[in-house]
Amino acid sequence: MSSLLHLSRTAASTLLAVAAALLLTLGVIRLWLADVLYDEDRFAATAVSLMENDTVRAEVRRVVVDQAVDQQPDLLAARPLLETVVDTALVSRPFERILEAAARDLHRAIFKGERQSFVLNISDIATLAEAGLRAYDPELADRLPGGPNLGAIEVASRGVGTRVIEVDRQLRALTWLVLAGALACYLASGIAGRSFRAASTAFGVALVGAALLTWLAIAVVAGLLPARVPGPPAAGAAAREVWLAYSEELRWWMWVQVAAGVAIASIASSLVATASAREQLAAARRWFATAWEQRLGRVGLAALGVLAGVLLLLSPAGTVMLLARAAGTGLAYLAGVELLRTLGLARDVARRGLPPRARREAAVPAIFAGGTLALAGLAVAGAFWLNRDALRAPSPAALTRYGSCNGLEELCDRRLDQVLFPATHNAMGAAESPGWFLAEHIHPIDRQLRDGIRGLLVDVYYGYPTGRGVRTDPALIVEKLEPHWGPQAAEAAARLADTIGPIPPGAKPGLYLCHGYCELGATPFESVMRDIRAFLRQHPGEVVILVLQDYVDPFDVQAAMTRTGLIDYAAALEWGRPLPTLRELIETDRRLLVFSENVGDRPAPPWYHDAFTWMQDTPFLFRSVEEFSCEPFRGRPESPLFLVNHWVSNFPPSPRDALPANSAAVLRERLERCWQERGRMPNLVAVNFSETGDLLPVVEEVNRRGPR
């Protein structure tokens, strides 16, 4: 009778421990649901992060392009170009805001609306796509359809699953009742079995089992989704990636649960373990052999085999991974028990016959192990809790936004010709850049941008790298530079070239930023393009103007900007249309305007604008501040943008000459005079040594005052 009572107590204790583990797992799942799915901010943030997934982005791109072609069939021939433009738009900063707003609407439709189908409406993608397409083919951009039918993606419909989620969301307080129930079951397990060590062992093993089942459920859903989602296979693959993204935090919680379960079971078991790990494995084999000999046991094991086979068919990868994790946790458990046992923490259960002192001595390891267990559990839980945000997508509040345009909120709704951009002449020539002999600035371009410069005047040449420097393209020296610089400069450059060494046989020219002669200083063009791209990506509210004095093919520039990703920001202006506002450029993420001094009528990409069709300027050869004038120089009277060249051209360039030129008094007087004489607001003021003087405060002052 006593053995039967003991068996009942043991069974009850085990069942209660398993119930505690299942309730704790259910509580964790409900916390995950509340954090990732029920919370609108987290739901939207995870949706935004999904655009970093290639599979999801490819499916969204396919849907948008298919919708565009369906509405405008003549776009079919340009589908590859349209796909490129849409893909660029999907990873832009403005699209983050579009997607965030769409995800919030979707969340409200699921939990607060009555709609039967749930649609992610990203129709504003048409605006971004149109701006990107205009940079390649303005006529094609005009034919791109828009409206709510472009970018409306149906993601689900109301059904049993959504109703269950809606009811569960309304019972948020139930989570804490579930967790309290888990604690009560654990305490009852220890009391019923008269051993908290045995209850802890069963509880730890059950925690591991519940985590494995949760992993299996996630894997099964991921395996079933591709076949259940209507449409092409890509749609199912994208749905799978979405599910995995939203369940990522739950999978990490299960890792913590497994670690805690193994630790609890190992430490608790070691306190009563009298058998080695090898003996425990032998006992497990005997148990299976005994169970197989009994009909009921054989039916149970066979049923488990059938279940494993079905799971392998439904989700082969997930099931294999589950079995591997189960084997790993089992190994960790046995090894942990053996380790603690070998260290002397295990004690025979039959201590009741020992004298009191011996019993107290035998209890010391148990107290030590219990304290270690508690501290380890707190450490794991605390470390995970403190770093839990690393497992989440960033909250919408952390998404990069802009609150102003080029530093001032009042500039956002002004056109380009109503804004003044601080600019640097020969911006690439910096004393801090290696190899520059005649620098006209102290800091390189990346630092200039960070300091506030928004216009860059640079020269682009073909150059040949050698072991000691860069050689200028010889044909360019004869055709372009000798007539401009004169024979003495050409002879000096030739002597310097002799020290650099000859052009290596078979060398191919590359693009470099040089001033006249690359032998006097050269910066790889693509490195600067990467710097500009990095700045634009990190500062979504900034617009930059790039003026190229180019002696290269425009399509070589396009290839370099494509390789560096800067082309994604290039804006295309159209003659006859009003100039865009800064807000329009920012919201379409086309925040780089490129102007070429030498392109003329040559073939070029639409965003590669002829500078002096769009700009008019002042002379630029002044030997002193007193010589500054505002007379028309290049460009046409109808050119909408106005460049004021504001530097002293003495040799060698010196910060001493830049100091009076860049003073507030001289800058204010020159800008005001040019504004009055030319009848238009200056839009770029280009200086040498921008680090010297008051360029940025004066530009801000002019911009705050605004156009007349």
Sign of CA dihedral 90, 94, 96, 98: negative
Asked if the peptide bond before residue 652 counts as cis, ω within 30 degrees of 0, the response is yes
The strand pair at 455-465 and 470-472 is best described as: antiparallel
- pLDDT grade for 361, boundaries at 50, 70 and 90: very low
How far apart CA 525 and CA 465 sit, in angstroms, is 13
Of 162-171, 388-397, 407-416, 433-442, least confident by mean pLDDT is 388-397
Higher-confidence residue of 319 and 64: namely: 64
Q: Does residue 272 carry a pLDDT above 70?
A: no
pTM: 0.74
- pLDDT grade for 147, boundaries at 50, 70 and 90: confident
Q: Does residue 364 carry a pLDDT above 90?
A: no
Q: What angle do CA 161, 166, 168 make, to 5 degrees?
A: 95
Question: 409-705 — its CATH code?
Answer: 3.20.20.190
pLDDT tens-digit profile of 475-532?
766 555 555 555 665 666 667 666 777 788 878 889 999 987 888 889 999 999 999 9
Which pair of tokens denotes residue 476? Answer: 């360019």
Q: Does residue 536 carry a pLDDT above 90?
A: yes
Q: What is the pLDDT of residue 314?
A: 59
SS (H, E, C) 586-618: HHCCCCEEEEECCCCCCCCCCCEEEHHHHEEEC
How far apart CA 170 and CA 70 sit, in angstroms, is 42
pLDDT tens-digit profile of 557-574?
999 999 999 999 999 999
- pLDDT grade for 156, boundaries at 50, 70 and 90: confident
How far apart CA 612 and CA 376 sit, in angstroms, is 71
Domain range summary for the chain, segments of one domain joined by +: 1-194, 409-705
